[in-house]
Structure 1
Amino acid sequence: MNDTGAVLPWLVIRQDANGNRYRVGQYATEDEARKMADSLDGRADERLYCVERVGQAAG
């Protein structure tokens, strides 16, 4: 939960060319998160945006 009490179990993660991972946003639905990741992906050659559920192991 965040400060508002809303449950946001879906994350958009950015991974750069060096393998560093950063949380970009947190969303209520997988569809919402995928739309955001898709809108961001392709803006820079060395970035990858992916969607993960909170607590899901990276891989």
Structure 2
Amino acid sequence: MNDGTTTLPWLVIREDDNGNRYRVGRFATRAEAQRTADSLGDHEHQQLYCVERLGARKPGPEQNGTAR
């Protein structure tokens, strides 16, 4: 926190069947982002939700949490 604003470096990303990616939300902690991704992944649709750190390169499957 540099200028009085909260930093939200963790993203939840939704990827659809066509490979399109959409940011669902930003979070202060990885745990918050993972809980959201897990809760969204419980639906019947086959969407992929993953957690990524803002500014980080796209992680491989062993580096990110995913929910289907």
Q: TM-score range by the shorter chain?
A: 0.7 to 0.9
Specify the code of the residue in structure 1 equivalent to 2:26: Q
Query: Partner of 1:34: helix, strand, or coil?
Result: helix
Give the Å deviation of 1:49. 0.3
Aligned to 1:58: 58
Specify the code of the residue in structure 2 equivalent to 1:19: G
What TM-score, normalized by structure 2, do the two folds share? 0.75
Aligned identity (percent) is: 56
Query: Partner of 2:56: helix, strand, or coil?
Result: coil
Give the Å deviation of 1:14. 0.1
Aligned to 1:22: 22
Structure of higher CA gyration radius: 2
Query: Could you report, residue by residue, the CA deviation over 1:6-41 in whole angstroms, capped at 9, with x for unpaired residues?
Result: 100000000000000000000000000000000001
Unaligned runs of 5+ in 1: none
Query: Could you report, residue by residue, the CA deviation over 1:37-56 in whole angstroms, capped at 9, with x for unpaired residues?
Result: 00001314331000000012
What TM-score, normalized by structure 1, do the two folds share? 0.85
Aligned to 1:13: 13
Name the count of aligned residue pairs. 57
More strand by share: 1
